[in-house]
Amino acid sequence: MNKRHYDVIFLGIGVSGAFTAKTMARHTNVARMAMIDRRPGPGQVNTGRARNSGTGHNGRLESNLAIGRAIEVSGEFDLLRGFAYKYAPGAITTVPGLLFGVGAKDVAFLRDRFAKLAPHFQDLRLLERDEIARLEPALIEGRDPSEPVVALYTAEAYAVDFESVTVALHNEAHRAAFETGKTLDTYFDTEITRVTRTATGFELVAGDITFTCRSLEVAMGNNSILVAHELGFAQHLVPTTVGGSYYVADARVKGKVYTPQDEAVPFAALHFDLDANNHSVMRIGPLAILLFMMERGSYRTTWEYLKSGALTPRGILGWLRAILFNPPLRNFGLMCLLCLLPIVGKREFLRQVRRFIPLMQLSDLTFADGAGGVRGQLIDTTNGTMSKATRIPTPEGMPANFIAAPSPGASVSGGNAVRSVRNHVKWLGPDYWFDEEAMRADLLGAIPARAVS
């Protein structure tokens, strides 16, 4: 048997796993590390271009976030964009962004939210109709002049190619390991078939290779919960795997346009995004639909979904309580289902879109067939609620981080990396350190002064 030992192993080389590996390689004294992924390269699942919305969430325009969380998200996103500015400058683009409200209820909500956010974000502005018309004319053209509208606006929203960022993180992790004399091995096309807890850490089996490590980083997106179940905890959590589909059209907006989101619905409300790699095209969505697989387009992961417990009586009951008995979430699901039906679906979607872009036509919309990722929103079967946590809680004494990473997971991957690395050096013992100050200085120092949150 081929045995290989490391201090830390990273399972999953998406943006979260790669950010943690890069941080550990550059800013700790951990000597032996390995990254493992069953795909042929970094960022090939939900981080990939076809699967990720390409939105850099920075707390200004995400109306479902509590004010405190919006401030946290902003700081965590700064780490990601600082890395992108310095190491992958072609992967991040600054675009204007609006949170656009239509009707008296939305307008009142946005005015109140602006009053609470403005002291924390100096770049945030409140726009009335005339300014909206000047900056995003498509939102006003053809609209009833008596209909109340208002918008929160920032000149600095972000389109991010997270796949390119992940490739750069992977490469920088290896460069840092080389320059500091550490071992960092990468294993692509490597399927881990068993993970067990040992007296000194963990044992992982892939074919004829047995890996051992003292601490473990599980950043496998939807599949993180499967590893937790294999290790005997978080059995009460099951995933509801939701595919995020969208339509595309020629760009009618100049940046990103969001709409107010119901706090009871953990999925984004209708929004308009310039494609991160082609600004002549905009994505419109999302439309959420249940998909019984862990990775979009990978039917082999249907078996993995079945293993998750989601379709057991306990899982189905938790799903019913969390979704069908939650009117806002249930109505959102029904709306999405209607918009995805043949023939009538596109017309219903157009009706939703015209609330925000009145002159949009049916012929302008093209369904992005097969695009979009799969988001494994975890359901707590003990109380029938959806978890919004980005991390799966572990038993006391287990030296492992489990990243579930629902939205805005990619945007806050730098914050997740900080928390994970703090844990790893604590678990490894008093001789290990993490120079967090140097890490922050390296990344935040790359942001232009006018753009620092």
Percent of the chain with pLDDT over 90: 64
Lowest-confidence pick of 112-126, 221-235, 258-272 = 258-272
Q: Given a cut of 60, is residue 453 above it in pLDDT?
A: no
pLDDT of residue 129: 97
Q: How confident is the model at residue 339, as a pLDDT? A: 86
Closest CA to 148 of 104, 187, 186: 104
* pLDDT score at 114: 98
Mean of pLDDT values over 290-305 = 80
| Backbone phi, psi, residue 90, to 5° | -75, -5
User: pLDDT tens across 14-65, in order?
Assistant: 999 999 999 999 999 999 999 999 999 999 887 877 667 678 889 999 998 8
Distance separating the N- and C-terminal Cα atoms of the chain: 51
More confident residue, 6 or 367: 6
Q: What are phi and psi of 116, to 5 degrees?
A: -85, -35
| Beta bridge partner(s), residue 3 | 210
Q: pLDDT-derived band of residue 1, with 50, 70 and 90 as boundaries?
A: low
Give the CA radius of gyration of the chain: 22
Give the pTM: 0.91
Confidence category of residue 337, pLDDT binned at 50, 70, 90: confident
Greater pLDDT, 305 or 429? 429
Q: How far apart are CA 228 and CA 217, in angstroms?
A: 11
- Does the pLDDT at position 166 exceed 90? yes
Burial class for 24, CB neighbours closer than 10 Å (0-12, 13-18, 19+): buried
Per residue in 243-275, pLDDT tens? 777 889 999 999 899 999 877 676 778 889 887
Mean pLDDT of 367-392: 80
pLDDT of residue 46: 79
pLDDT at position 451: 46
Question: What is the torsion angle, in degrees rounded to the nearest 10, for the CA atoms of residue 41, residue 47, residue 53 and residue 54?
Answer: -80
Question: Which range among 74-83, 104-113, 171-180, 281-290 shows the weakest confidence by mean pLDDT?
Answer: 281-290
Going by pLDDT thresholds of 50, 70 and 90, the confidence category of residue 154 is: very high
Question: Which of 76-85, 239-248, 311-320, 351-360 comes out lowest in average pLDDT?
Answer: 239-248
Q: What is the pLDDT of residue 334?
A: 84
**Phi then psi dihedrals of residue 238, to 5 deg:** -130, 150
Q: Does position 402 have pLDDT exceeding 50, yes or no?
A: yes
The whole-number pLDDT of residue 110 equals 97
Cα diameter, the chain:
75
Rounded to an integer, the average pLDDT of 77-92 is 95
| 159, 95 contact by CB (below 8 A) | yes
The pairing of strands 366-367 and 278-290 is unpaired
d(CA 434, CA 422): 7
What pLDDT score does 452 carry? 45
Q: Does the pLDDT value for residue 198 go beyond 60?
A: yes
- Amino acid at position 195, single letter: V
Cα 224–229–235 angle (5° rounding)?
A: 115
Contacts of 210 (CB under 8 A, 6+ apart): 1, 2, 3, 4, 203, 204
Identify the structural domains of the chain with CATH numbers, from first to last: 2-451 (3.50.50.60)
Residue type, 453: S
